[in-house]
A and B are shown apart, each in its own frame.
Chain A
């Protein structure tokens, strides 16, 4: 469970997050909003790369903001980035090992990497270099990195951006398996409303730093305010 209370982020004169209070409990929760709404900024606050000027965030009851980014990773926080960050000159297995090195005790490292490889279905290309992968495989590697160790919260920043509908569907199936197979909560940002609808039981809508709506996905997507601000309806 993520509990955000009265959060304010300020960059100079702009407040990309302004007095945000929200509690997310769904195993897979969605975060949507127009460009520049502050979605990535919220992920950066959760993972520790942006310091809010005010407010608090708790993950399963533990204060997050007191921890350094590294401590949060060790405590089970994982994230992917809006632009994929696969290392080109490491193999798929080594891209996964690169995170296992630091958060999995060495006797279990090979097993953790193998389990992630099996989960994302990339065992056949485990020894291929990152540079030889297509975008879908890259997004899978990013997802694989997130399930290594004992994840408690996985933050995915537009994990399906640039994928075909079919690939996005395959990715969605994997994300849906995470809460039961890895007992981690997932928070997904995406612009594809259909994907969010299929994946997230709960959705939060941000609009220029303000909370526009939060609740069961169907209710939120039917909300007239959301339709006007986000889906471009009058």
Chain B
């Protein structure tokens, strides 16, 4: 009797121990990725890879909204802009350690993301997409009028012509390689926070909401709280992304934050895959490394839009879990084949 009891308890304790184990996939993969990039990339590629990794944080936020809750938010790149704006503003005004500016960008974008998400508490599907796209359009208008702070006076912090300043890189990451590693570390932390959410209590609550709000409420889930939390988290990750992008070159260009960029980000999130964390990294690379590759080959950058369009069509038609989902499928099949040799 006693031994039977022990044997029965084992699966339960295993599933609890598995939580941190599967989280370790994130740093393990990021270390390999960062190592390979540092070994092989020249300065042009390093800058593109830095931007790609930074952007992957904003994509993982979208992946939570869409992959976990089925919510289509088309203003994520605007939130990247908000994070970048705040980080630059705080950085130029108070010259704190960059980590402070980074967190400030994340927190303010999180609050703005929460406000942008309010319509989502009532709207779904197409209506939510339209409202968030309009918010992205509004941000486009504001940011092209304001521009990003560059060391000038006043609230907007704009310097006219002379006296323009770059935001200095973090003390411990002055060089291009060091800053790339810095961004990889920050992104790893952000990706792990997101992944923990998916595997723990918030992820289970989101899964129930996805199943149906009646089902979720019957399980004691406060639907409003967990939806709002998803928007705040997604905004936070977008804000970090914006701050890291801002410090890559020390400034941001207001013209780069049009509403189209938010649409593009959403499309690429789907192509990369919203159900596996590394889909965000793939999307980031597609967004920044693919154009860099084409530039390197002397092909016009606009071709990427066509490529993205075809990739999106492919994903929607045949691979709803994106490239990451296809990779996960291959890994699972290989694992079954290896295990299959040992099975009875």
Contacts and interface: CB of A to CB of B under 8 A. Distances in A.
Same assembly:
yes
Interface of A: 47, 49, 69-70, 73-74, 78-79, 81, 85, 87, 89-91, 93-94, 97-99, 101-103, 110, 113-114, 117-118, 123-124, 126-127, 145, 149
A92 to B, nearest CB: 9
Interface string B209-238: 011101101111110000000000000000
A209 B15 CA distance: 46
B204 interface: yes
Q: With a 10 A CB-CB cut-off, give which of B14, B205, B219, B221 has the most chain A CB atoms.
A: B219
Decide if the interface of chain B is mainly helix, strand, loop or mixed: helix
Q: With a 10 A CB-CB cut-off, give which of A93, A101, A103, A123 has the most chain B CB atoms.
A: A101
B220 A126 contact: no
Interface in B181-211: 201, 204-205, 207-208, 210-211
Nearest to A85: B215
Contact of A94 (B11, B14, B204, B220): B204
B11 A98 contact: no
Contacts of B210: 87
B162 interface: no
Contacts of A87: 204, 207-208, 210-211
Contacts of A78: 218
Nearest to B13: A110
Given A98-B204, A102-B205, A93 B12 contact: yes
A118 B4 CA distance: 13
B217 A98 contact: no
A126 B11 contact: yes
A115 to B, nearest CB: 11
Nearest to A79: B218
A87 B11 CA distance: 19
Decide if the interface of chain A is mainly helix, strand, loop or mixed: helix
19 contacts: A49-B217, A69-B217, A70-B222, A73-B219, A73-B220, A78-B218, A79-B218, A87-B207, A87-B210, A98-B204, A98-B207, A98-B208, A102-B219, A102-B221, A110-B16, A123-B8, A124-B8, A126-B12, A149-B220
A85 B11 contact: no
A73 B215 CA distance: 12
Contacts, number: 77
Given A87-B211, A90-B204, A98 B219 contact: yes
Contacts of A79: 218
A85 B207 contact: no
Q: With a 10 A CB-CB cut-off, give which of B11, B211, B221 has the most chain A CB atoms.
A: B11
A145 B219 contact: yes
Q: With a 10 A CB-CB cut-off, give which of A91, A94, A98, A102 has the most chain B CB atoms.
A: A98
Nearest to B8: A123
B12 A110 contact: yes
Given A47-B218, A97-B201, A123-B8, 5 more contacts: A73-B218, A98-B207, A99-B220, A114-B9, A124-B11
A47 B214 CA distance: 10
A98 B18 CA distance: 17
Contacts of B217: 49, 69-70, 73
Contacts of B201: 97, 101
Nearest to B218: A79
Interface in B218-265: 218-222
Contacts of B215: 81, 85
A69 B216 CA distance: 11
B14 A90 contact: no
Q: With a 10 A CB-CB cut-off, give which of B8, B212, B220 has the most chain A CB atoms.
A: B220
**3 tightest Cβ-Cβ pairs between the two chains A and B:** A102-B220, A98-B204, A99-B219
Contacts of A118: 8
Contact of A103 (B16, B207, B220): B220
B205 A101 contact: yes
A70 B220 contact: yes
B12 A85 contact: no
B196 to A, nearest CB: 14
A189 B8 CA distance: 33
A81 B216 CA distance: 12
A69 B218 contact: yes
Interface in B9-64: 9, 11-12, 14-16, 18
B15 A126 contact: yes
A101 B12 contact: no
Nearest to A102: B220
B208 A117 contact: no
Nearest to A49: B214
Given A70-B217, A70-B220, A74-B220, A97 B8 contact: no
A91 B15 contact: yes
Nearest to B18: A127
A103 B219 CA distance: 8
Nearest to A87: B207
Given A74-B220, A102-B219, A114 B12 contact: yes
